[in-house]
Amino acid sequence: MITLPYGIADFRRIRREGMAYVDRTAYIPRIERLGSTLVFLRPRRFGKSLWLQTLANYYDVRRAEEFTDLFGGLAIGRTPTPRANRSFILQWNFSVVDPSGSVGQIAESLREHVSSRAKNFIADYKDRLPVKVETEGSATAILDSLLSAVRRTPHPLYLLIDEYDNFINEVMARDVETYRALVHTDGPFKLLFKAVKNATEGQGLERVFITGVSPVALNDLTSGFNIARNVSLEPDLAGLCGFEESEIRGLLEQISQDRDLSPEAVEDAVATMRTWYNGYRFTASEGNGLVYNPTNVLYFLDHLHRHGIPPAQLHDENLRTDRGKLSFLARTAAGSGVIEELTEGNGEIEIPELETSFSLDRLLTQLQQDRGSIVSLLYFMGLLTLTDVPGRLRVPNLVVQKLFLDRLLEIHLPAPGDTYAARETAQRFFRSGDLAPLLAFMEEKLLPVLSNRDRGGLHEMAIKALFLSILFDDTRYTVSSELELERSYADLCLLVRPEMRRHGYRDVLFELKLVRRKDLGKTGQELREMDEEALRRLPPVARALDEAREQARRYCAALQRHHGEDLELRSYAVVAVDLERLLGDEVA
């Protein structure tokens, strides 16, 4: 029976306990060729910690006798490099450093972590260290003492730093001045990295591998740590973190045997994960395929293996912190503009080029004016991904689209309770199919938000984004915008997830049209005061409704042909009369 390592980043435990492991050890020789001091950036919970533990066990001199047990059968086990099992390993994990309090308090938490890891180092290598290592004093003094002991041995030191920017990013978001005091001039964060830089200059530190999310803190260190090579966009490392679909199918094959899943259930699972978790691309070079978010995949597969059905909620709540950062960006001028463009368009956005080197001061300047740094930061957070067109990025999948739509709703409905009221309105619509209350809520709460826009830029996509922001419900539906149906595209389609059909939910299709005020010869006041029947009789409105009904019928027929008897479809034709009114009908 397969054991999935969901939430486990301990390579040694995974291998010793026979858990499922997707082999990434073929990347070890590539890493060695790229340099001795490397920085590797990926979004949160994308497998970086497990990779560091793989490196730790491969290079650690203590694991030489376990090499066959840990790496036998893996790519690197067949062709190990000369550096295998010849180093001391020192690990720092900055996610455990407390970001709260004053500069002095944060510096002390950082010092305590360095001291604690030095004590672990002493315990690990006590029989190999010829002199005492001091674990008191400043962080840099502790590192110097440890290196002094290492130089008296035949073994070099390999330093692994996990989540280098975790606590410092928290400080950055909370208090810019405290952040500056930590990373600039003689701040404790900068001094520690200066000490690491110095240690690589013949002081016993042979190799350094650093993981993190964004390059901001490293760039703010400036000359304090200018020796590292950022390999995050290297084509040879594009698949280092993340799953390919063939690898997911291999895991599913074992799960299907344990749970006796039908071939149809397996294909449904693959299709669901492809829609929700796939789509990440970490290099602009051609020939590299897309990868899936590994945390979400293991979350899904773990639930499927334990219960025989997919999870009701398709996004892992452990990724919730990304929402807070996105909410912060949504409150800025450039950030809210980027979110609106991504949700109201096709999910793509263009900038001159991806920025891989920007400081906090530059980022703060851009927040109110230039979207280039915002878009680049969203890429490093895992909320946008690369395409094969330079400078063009896109939303990778539905998990991220949901995050953007939630923030769009926050932008449009900032008043306390309004967002909850929107969700309640959507749930009543899903249960009853009654369109009128949904349109009334949107007309009262959402249309006025758009009224200050340049009307020349108003388009159907903006109206569709409003519907998406309210109706996007991953627990009950698979939501598709611009769903292709027999060489045409339906505006908005919500198909009930297979495991939710027994609860009485019905599939929903919307065809949306926009009639501009200039085509009606009416003022906004006149449109607001006109009764609905009179509004429907206006020729442009009547034509738009007829066209929406006809298209909805055609899309319904195509969906029925594709899905057969499983479909229980309700379809709706909706017309937005500029930014003043919403009219709609259920289509028979």
Residue 288 has pLDDT above 80, yes or no: no
Cα separation of 562 and 182, whole Å?
59
CA pair distance 220, 363, nearest whole angstrom: 11
Residue 29: the pLDDT is 98
| pLDDT score for 51 | 98
Instruction: Evaluate if residue 287 carries a pLDDT over 70.
Output: no
Quote the pLDDT of residue 275: 86
Q: Say what the pLDDT of residue 205 is.
A: 98
Checking if the pLDDT of 181 tops 90, the result is yes
Tokens of 424: 């309640």
Domain 11-237 in CATH 3.40.50? The answer is: yes
pLDDT value at residue 257: 95
Average pLDDT, the chain: 91
pLDDT value at residue 28: 98
Give the pLDDT band of residue 489 (cuts 50, 70, 90). confident
Predicted pLDDT of residue 315: 79
Long-range contacts of 149-153 (CB under 8 A, 24+ apart): 150/88, 150/204, 150/205, 151/203, 151/204, 153/88, 153/128, 153/129
- Quick one: pLDDT band at residue 457, thresholds 50, 70, 90? low
Q: Specify the DSSP element, H or E, that contains 174.
A: helix 166-174
Least confident of 170-179, 322-331, 518-527: 322-331
CB contact set of 436 (below 8 Å; sequence gap of 6+)? none
Q: Which of 529, 578, 576 is nearest to 548 (CA)?
A: 576
The answer, yes or no, to whether residue 336 has pLDDT greater than 80, is yes
User: Binning pLDDT at 50, 70 and 90, where does residue 527 land?
Assistant: very high
**Residues 478-500, mean pLDDT to the nearest whole number:** 85
Q: What is the mean pLDDT of residues 465-469?
A: 91
The backbone torsions φ and ψ at residue 238, rounded to the nearest 5 degrees and listed phi first, read -60, -30
3-state DSSP assignment of residue 352: coil
pLDDT at 373: 86
pTM: 0.90
Residue 249 predicted with pLDDT over 70:
yes
Average pLDDT (298-310) is 95
- pLDDT tens digit sequence for 19-48: 999 999 999 999 999 999 999 999 998 999
- pLDDT tops 90 at residue 499: no
Which pLDDT value is given to residue 160? 98
Instruction: List the structure tokens of 416.
Output: 């306390």
Which long-range contacts link 498-504 to residues 24+ away (Cβ below 8 Å)?
A: 498/268, 499/309, 499/310, 499/312, 500/312, 500/475, 500/476, 501/566, 501/568, 503/476, 504/431
Residues 6 or more apart in contact with residue 144 via CB below 8 angstroms: 195
Q: What is the mean pLDDT of residues 98-113?
A: 97
Q: What is the pLDDT of residue 456?
A: 45
Q: State what percent of residues in the chain have pLDDT above 90.
A: 70
Question: Once rounded to an integer, what is the mean pLDDT over residues 419-438?
Answer: 95
Q: What is the pLDDT of residue 261?
A: 94
The owner of tokens 């930061």 is 377
Least confident of 117-131, 186-200, 458-472: 458-472
**CB-based contact 502:521 (threshold 8 Å):** no
Which H, E and C letters describe 106-147, residue by residue? HHHHHHHHHHHHHHHHHHHHCCCCCCCCCCCCCHHHHHHHHH
Token duo for residue 522: 């009416």
Residue with tokens 């840099």: 140
pLDDT for 455 equals 42
With residue 50 as reference, give the H or E element that holds it. helix 48-59
Q: How confident is the model at residue 571 (pLDDT cuts 50, 70, 90)?
A: very high
| Cβ neighbours around 486 below 10 Å, total | 11
As separate numbers, helices (DSSP H) first and strands (DSSP E) second, the chain gives: 26, 13
- What count of other Cβ atoms lies within 10 Å of the Cβ of residue 541? 21
DSSP label of 382 = T
The residue ranges of every structural domain in the chain are 11-237, 245-310, 320-412, 418-588
Q: What is the mean pLDDT of residues 562-572?
A: 87
- The answer to whether the CB of 336 falls within 8 A of the CB of 318 is no
What is the mean pLDDT of the segment spanning 512-517? 93
